Amino acid sequence: MKPLTNQQRLHLINSEQLYENFREARLHAASHAYGMRWKTVRGVDYLFRDRDARGNGKSLGRRTPETEAVLAAFLQGKQAATERLDGIRSALDEQARINKALRLSRVPRTVARILRELDAAGLYKTFTVLGTQALFGYEAAGGVQFLSELLASGDVDLLYDYRKKITLVSARLDGQGLLGLLKRTDRSFECIRKGNFRAANAGQFMVDLIVPPRSTDQPEPITFAANDLVAAEVPGLQWLLNAPKLDTVAIDEEGWPAPLRVPDPRAFALHKAWLAQLPSREPIKKPRDQAQASAVATLVREYLPHLSFDDALLSLHGDVRRFVANLS
């Protein structure tokens, strides 16, 4: 890995601050989404506030000077929120050009677009990015860039925290499911097959929806809409629900910020090292597991020294703790 220059660090920080402003402005603009309008019922005008894209909402009362003032204030607020959001988006576009010139562009654009859509839907903390794509979060946190051979990957694994209510997640996805969200980033995304945990786009970039194994009293599959992805239960992932998370902002291939929620880097390094020694692990994956484990462990020791590996062990499952104990 190589450390970022001071100029790169400066613009990475600027990008993160701009994105936080963008988040706030987007949230404010979203509070004016779907609109407010007059609706005539039996010859009487009522002020109606839409709550979703399907036209559901509620009446705010008959047309009166008071409700007319409510509508005027809403329209004025919507215009102000839109103008502020457009202004910050323009600033981000300009920052993106600088980021690309400084070679800060790292996160694959498809991954970044998915993460920004999840963030916009209020689901940023519901899904954790696993595997190779998590390395971009560690780069940003440590102010370094890993060697390219550690990073190349044509997929992203999204770990769903099934302790969150599925009905709330489904509502935030506007009833279109995770596949609907993926299609907003690239229309060519489709499930590999019905009832599958994987979607792919025309470029064969794959998105996997995964969860740890659940108890036998939870027989219902995890899915968010009809014909949506169905989460696959993957052994050995329970530790990730309990491990600390790292929230950071990295830069995508187009120079735009991308919000990343990833496992704590200590947990990532220890778990990858454990995977590399499992007899059941595919031989072709073991060297890459070990290389990623070593790189992230080195990053923690050299650039994030305030993070203790001893503390990280407390959140890992017993197999990993026993593996580490045998190393010492």
Is residue 77 very low, low, confident or very high in pLDDT (cuts 50, 70, 90)? very high
Is 145 a member of any domain? yes
**216 shares its domain with 161:** yes
Query: What domain count does the chain have?
Result: 2
Q: Are 11 and 257 in contact (CB under 8 A)?
A: no
- pLDDT (tens digit per residue) in 203-261: 999 999 999 988 877 778 999 999 999 999 988 788 777 788 999 999 999 999 999 99
**259 shares its domain with 164:** yes
| Structural domain range at position 236 | 107-263
**133 shares its domain with 246:** yes
**141 shares its domain with 80:** no
**232 shares its domain with 249:** yes
**144 shares its domain with 82:** no
Q: Are 198 and 192 in contact (CB under 8 A)?
A: yes
Please tell me the total number of residues recorded for the chain in this structure.
328
Residue found by looking up tokens 């509620």 in the block = 58
Given a cut of 60, whether residue 328 has pLDDT beyond it is no
- pLDDT (tens digit per residue) in 8-35: 999 999 999 999 999 999 999 998 988 8
Is residue 41 very low, low, confident or very high in pLDDT (cuts 50, 70, 90)? very high
User: What global pTM score does this model have?
Assistant: 0.88
d(CA 294, CA 265): 11
Q: Which of 235, 263, 291 is the last residue of a domain?
A: 263
**153 shares its domain with 179:** yes
**163 shares its domain with 27:** no
pLDDT for position 296: 95
**117 shares its domain with 208:** yes
